[in-house]
């Protein structure tokens, strides 16, 4: 019962992060399942089955808050589904001994990417309003879907920053569209896992509690996306993913590190993680201060122009 409650809380927390940041539900949930000994294919299958419900709830919530561009959903979601099915069948063909470290490496890479991307750069906002073309979205969806299924997560970490980096959509629209299109990816990946490993290795109680936590969090996250600082959240989540998967790799048969090496690695990661969060908080506050100054200067210029017009009249 304690494990089910923990998984439900993880599903809730992961969906809050995912719905606010456009990524990390699958990466966070799969990382936990691997940490408690679930084999790689079953962990990814469990998370993707839960995501069928969570992404549907998240997509509807984002749509109701006006955060979804349905043209982008169609252009990236369908190729994403194809890539997810291929990734699921590929992961299902690997042995457990090979799959677990491989998935941890993928998750670690995604965690490092999230940590560096949001700590160093925040969210780009240039070129807003320019159209996103199918020749960009289709291959992006194909790659993101494959990574998502093989890594137990990755649709958001690959898709969201790529579209944000283009600067052609408002961040809330990017996050809402990625979350809505992930519904197609989750269905395709789940079908691929059923074909590859069947249902006997999937714990449907775990699926249920992950789903329940995610569904509860989905509307809250869709509202929070307008208010929560993504830069700080990205740094926090990225560091957690890095720490957990480094722990998995250090304890794997591939490395089998000594206790001293493990302790040193954890200390280094904690220091870097804390520094990243502190830097993100500082940069967020500085950006907000600059925005306030710019707003005041704009207001002053506007009033001066109005006064000059009134005087000349």
pLDDT per residue as tens digits for the range 93-119: 765 556 657 767 876 887 788 788 878
Write b or e for each residue in 134-164: b if 16 or more Cβ atoms lie within 10 A of its Cβ, otherwise e.
Answer: eebbbebbbbbbbbbbbbbbbbbbbbbbbbb
Q: How far apart are the first and last CA of the chain?
A: 77
| Average of per-residue pLDDT values in the chain | 76
CB 192 within 8 A of CB 85: yes
3-state secondary structure of 200: coil
pLDDT digits (tens, 9 = 90+) for 22-52: 566 676 777 677 666 666 667 777 777 787 8
User: Three-state SS across 94-107?
Assistant: CCHHHHHHHHHHHH
Judged by DSSP in three states, 192 sits in helix
- For residue 41, give Cα distances in angstroms to 32, 46, 172, 303: 14, 9, 32, 62
Binning pLDDT at 50, 70 and 90, where does residue 82 land?
Answer: very high
HSE-CB of 40 using CA atoms within 13 angstroms: 28
Buried b (16+ CB within 10 A) or exposed e, 208-218: bbbbbbbbbbb
* pLDDT tens column, 219-251: 776 666 666 677 777 787 778 778 877 877 887
Higher-pLDDT residue of 121 and 268 is 268
Residues whose CB falls within 8 Å of the CB of residue 186, separated by 6 or more in sequence, listed in order: 48, 49, 51, 52, 55, 84
Q: Measured between alpha carbons, how far is 313 from 307 in angstroms, rounded to an integer?
A: 10
C-alpha 184/C-alpha 78 separation (Å) is: 7
Full-model pTM: 0.62
* pLDDT above 60 (res 7): yes
Residue found by looking up tokens 């809730």 in the block: 12
Q: How confident is the model at residue 307 (pLDDT cuts 50, 70, 90)?
A: low
Q: Are 164 and 124 in contact (CB under 8 A)?
A: yes
């Amino acid at each position: 019962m304690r494990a089910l409650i923990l998984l439900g809380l993880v599903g809730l927390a992961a969906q809050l992060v995912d719905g606010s940041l456009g990524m990390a539900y699958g990466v966070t949930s799969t990382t936990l399942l691997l940490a408690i000994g679930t084999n790689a294919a079953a962990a990814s299958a469990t998370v993707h089955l839960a995501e069928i419900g969570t992404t549907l709830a998240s997509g509807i919530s984002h749509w109701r808050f006006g955060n979804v561009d349905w043209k982008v959903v169609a252009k990236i979601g369908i190729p994403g589904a194809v890539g997810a099915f291929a990734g699921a069948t590929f992961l299902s063909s690997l042995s457990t001994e090979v799959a677990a470290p491989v998935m941890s490496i993928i998750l670690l890479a995604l965690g490092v990417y999230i940590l560096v991307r949001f700590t160093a750069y925040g969210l780009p906002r240039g070129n807003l309003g320019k159209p996103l073309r199918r020749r960009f979205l289709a291959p992006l969806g194909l790659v993101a879907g494959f990574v998502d299924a093989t890594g137990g997560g990755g649709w958001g970490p690959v898709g969201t920053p790529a579209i944000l980096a283009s600067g052609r959509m408002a961040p809330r629209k990017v996050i809402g569209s990625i979350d809505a299109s992930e519904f197609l990816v989750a269905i395709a990946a789940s079908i691929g896992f059923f074909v590859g490993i069947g249902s006997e290795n999937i714990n449907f109680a775990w699926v249920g509690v992950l789903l329940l936590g995610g569904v509860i969090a989905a509307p809250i996250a869709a509202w929070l996306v307008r208010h929560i600082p993504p830069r700080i959240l990205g740094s926090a989540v990225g560091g957690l993913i890095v720490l957990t998967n480094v722990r998995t790799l250090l304890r794997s048969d591939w490395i089998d590190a000594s206790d001293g090496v493990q302790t040193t690695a954890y200390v280094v990661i904690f220091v870097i993680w804390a520094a990243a969060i502190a830097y993100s908080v500082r940069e967020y506050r500085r950006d907000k201060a600059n925005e306030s100054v710019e707003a005041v200067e704009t207001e002053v210029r506007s009033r001066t122009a109005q006064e000059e017009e009134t005087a000349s009249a």
